[in-house]
Amino acid sequence: MKKNLLKIFIIYFILGSIAEACNFKIANFGDPKEKVKLNSASLAPLLLPDRFGGENLIIPIEDVCETSKKLWGTKLIYLYVDNKLSRIQLYRPLMEDRNLMDFAMKKYGKFNLPEGMPKTRWRGNNIWDKNIEVIEYMVTDIHDGHVEILEITNKLYLSTIENYNEKVGEWLDSQQ
């Protein structure tokens, strides 16, 4: 009897963890934006072309991860360069929690925070090198608060993202 209860508990725990998981990768790196398919009940994602040769497809995380309520309020941003998915960002501004940090640590691995500092006051970044992807989590200050960002780039597209970021940087430098 105890073995059966233990098995039921383990299965319930595993299924509960799967249900709470958020699979925000609804397209593969290199795919065109036309391949993104969302639930028909959700609104169309917002597509914003920029002056640097990219297009940002912005989707509320609620449309992709309906059961992951801790991440609600996060924007999922797919960056397409030359109509190829080159970077995925989860962008969570002005939230008083660190739910994106918790999600990143659970999915990619824990990292150390300064001892004695509440994680809500921490600013910085951490990088994971996982097989074919580079993942960076960061918290930084913005006007009126802070933002958490989780950025995933396939190693095949690192040079594309570097070139893109260089164009953005040159433009930012010219604005001073």
Q: Report the distance separating Cα 167 and Cα 80, nearest Å.
A: 15
Helix (H) or strand (E) holding 100: helix 99-108
pLDDT of residue 173: 94
The pTM assigned to this predicted structure is 0.82
Q: What is the pLDDT of residue 3?
A: 55
Q: Residue 141's pLDDT is what?
A: 93
pLDDT given for residue 43 in this prediction: 67
Whole-angstrom distance, CA of residue 67 vs CA of residue 29? 24
Share of the chain above pLDDT 90, in %: 68
